[in-house]
Amino acid sequence: MKRSLLGALAVSTMLSPVAAMAETEVQFWHAFTGRLGELVAAQVEEFNASQSDYVVVQSHKGNYSETLNSGIAAFRAGEQPHILMVFEVGTATMMAAAGAVRPMHEVMAQSGAAFDQDAYIGAVKGYYTSTNGDMLSLPFNASTPVLWVNRDAMTAAGVDPDTDLSTWQNVDATLTALKAGGEECPLVTAWQSWIHLENFSAYHDVPFASQDNGFAGLDTELMLNGEAQVAHLTAMGQWAQDGKFIYTGRRNEGGANFRAGECALFTESSAGYAGISSEAEFDFDVRPLPYWEGVGNAPQNTIIGGASLWVMEGHEDDEYKGAGQFLSFLSSSDVQAAWHQNTGYLPITSEAGDATRAAGFYEANPGTEVAVIQMTANEPTANSKGLRLGSFDQIRGIIDEELEGIWAGDKTAQEAMDSAKERGDALLRRFEAANR
């Protein structure tokens, strides 16, 4: 795929010196809109302006699920991009896609681009590496859930905005006080499965699934119906019935409510910083994700969300060289530090985090280091290093449906999670059979 700098004149000048100025085109498909979309576009523009050999063309392909499905459909049609953004739950699917993806470490070796696997922080790198320790995709936007606090809403309801919210026990009492003080939306959440089941399990060091949450083999079973998970969801279900937890949707619909100042507390990704800092007209801060005191080994560490960048097969050597150069640019210290500071996503390299700290960013913006500390405070265990489950996008859909049954009061937490396990395990067996 080549694009002449002179566009329409390309045919007539194929044999002229101008042809030597042709740039190799690299297609990059992603899932970002709004402020994040603007920042991705700026990164692409910066890379394109930094050299004259390659031009990256970025395209938004919908939400995470839609982008993954677009990439799969495009590959089947022989029209796949060079680089595809895939959210973390699609990792097992991409690993199983033999012949469709080219491993990151191979791309970088072939391109000659600067690349050091050891430069990436362990909690992020481990998610996207093979059992041999080879990096398969480039960590790009890695985040972890935190608690956002609307300080003005707390004050308006007569609640001290500096109240300790480190435990769910304290959050429970605070929600009661907020409701009594006239707050109509004490708590809202985004990404309910990711935060309140997947990260909940890791944070309390209890298994979400067998076989080290899928890292140790395909013959895994869900364990999300355990005592700790059921107790947490039972509490949230009661909060929903009492009007202390307001359910707004399966993805990040609650973000709009929080940014508009309509809710007091919000469990969301650390990457909420980009939108909240640019839109909120109220005083806010960010706290660590709460944990239930006395449950498991909490607080252990939370796990990442977000996405990585996969390189697709079926392209020319010079195009892979361009892809490698672009990926190296994205992971460079300066670019990563700016991305971390502007978005709230984690710095994927230690060097980027160190540069941010040295620049005084955390000091000037209190709370922005919370996610980094929360992720790296403890060495990950088998229960807290992440998830690698086949068909997990579809399993999340099942979990979302069952959680909605709890919030509506139609099911107990135990009933809902038992059903989610049964239905999810059926998909895991199908995935296992297809990828033996």
pTM, to two decimals: 0.89
Verify that 256 and 222 share a domain, yes or no: yes
Summarize pLDDT for 374-420 with one digit per residue, the tens: 988 898 899 999 999 999 999 999 999 999 999 999 999 999 999 99
Verify that 218 and 229 share a domain, yes or no: yes
Judged by phi (left if over 0) then psi (alpha if -120 to 50, else beta), residue 344 lies in left
DSSP string, 209-246: BHHHHTTT-S---B-TTSHHHHHHHHHHHHHHHTTSB-
Segment 339-343 shows an average pLDDT of 94
The verdict on residue 62 lying in a domain is yes
Verify that 193 and 332 share a domain, yes or no: no
Summarize pLDDT for 85-136 with one digit per residue, the tens: 999 999 999 998 889 999 999 999 999 988 888 898 877 888 898 878 899 9
What is the three-state SS of 272-294?
A: HHHHHHHHCCCCEEEECCCECCC
Give the closest residue to 191 by CA, choosing from 289, 336, 93.
289
The verdict on residue 366 lying in a domain is no
Q: What is the pLDDT of residue 19?
A: 39
Q: What is the pLDDT of residue 21?
A: 53
Q: Is the pLDDT of residue 237 over 70?
A: yes
Verify that 208 and 134 share a domain, yes or no: no
Verify that 239 and 294 share a domain, yes or no: yes
Q: What is the pLDDT of residue 17?
A: 42
The verdict on residue 246 lying in a domain is yes
**Share of residues in the chain with pLDDT > 70 (%):** 95
Average pLDDT value over all residues in the chain: 92
Verify that 265 and 407 share a domain, yes or no: yes
The verdict on residue 364 lying in a domain is no
Verify that 231 and 178 share a domain, yes or no: yes
Q: What is the pLDDT of residue 8?
A: 32
Helix (H, G, I), strand (E, B) or coil at 3: strand
Residue 391 to residue 429: CA distance in whole angstroms: 10
Q: What is the pLDDT of residue 122?
A: 79
The CATH number of the domain holding residue 65 is 3.40.190.10
The verdict on residue 128 lying in a domain is yes
Verify that 63 and 114 share a domain, yes or no: yes
Question: How many folded domains does the chain comprise?
Answer: 2
The verdict on residue 408 lying in a domain is yes
Cβ atoms < 10 Å from Cβ of 347: 24
Segment 316-330 shows an average pLDDT of 96
Q: Is the pLDDT of residue 227 over 70?
A: yes
Residue 387 to residue 193: CA distance in whole angstroms: 12
Residue 24 to residue 26: CA distance in whole angstroms: 7
Phi, psi of 188 (to 5 degrees): -135, 155
Summarize pLDDT for 2-47 with one digit per residue, the tens: 333 223 323 333 333 443 456 899 999 999 998 899 999 999 999 9
The verdict on residue 181 lying in a domain is yes
The verdict on residue 363 lying in a domain is no
Structure tokens at 360: 């005084």
Residue 158 to residue 182: CA distance in whole angstroms: 9
Q: What is the pLDDT of residue 91?
A: 93
Verify that 283 and 150 share a domain, yes or no: yes
Q: What is the pLDDT of residue 133?
A: 85
Verify that 165 and 133 share a domain, yes or no: no
- Pinpoint the alpha helices (H) of 344-412: 350-358, 361-364, 370-376, 392-407
For residues 40 and 58, the answer to whether their CB atoms sit within 8 Å is yes
**Share of residues in the chain with pLDDT > 90 (%):** 84
Q: What is the pLDDT of residue 1?
A: 33
Verify that 103 and 159 share a domain, yes or no: no
For residues 378 and 308, the answer to whether their CB atoms sit within 8 Å is no
Residue 207 to residue 211: CA distance in whole angstroms: 9
For residues 83 and 323, the answer to whether their CB atoms sit within 8 Å is yes
Verify that 285 and 318 share a domain, yes or no: no
Domain limits at 377? 145-302+371-434
Q: What is the pLDDT of residue 22?
A: 65
- C-alpha angle 128-305-192 in degrees, rounded to nearest 5: 145
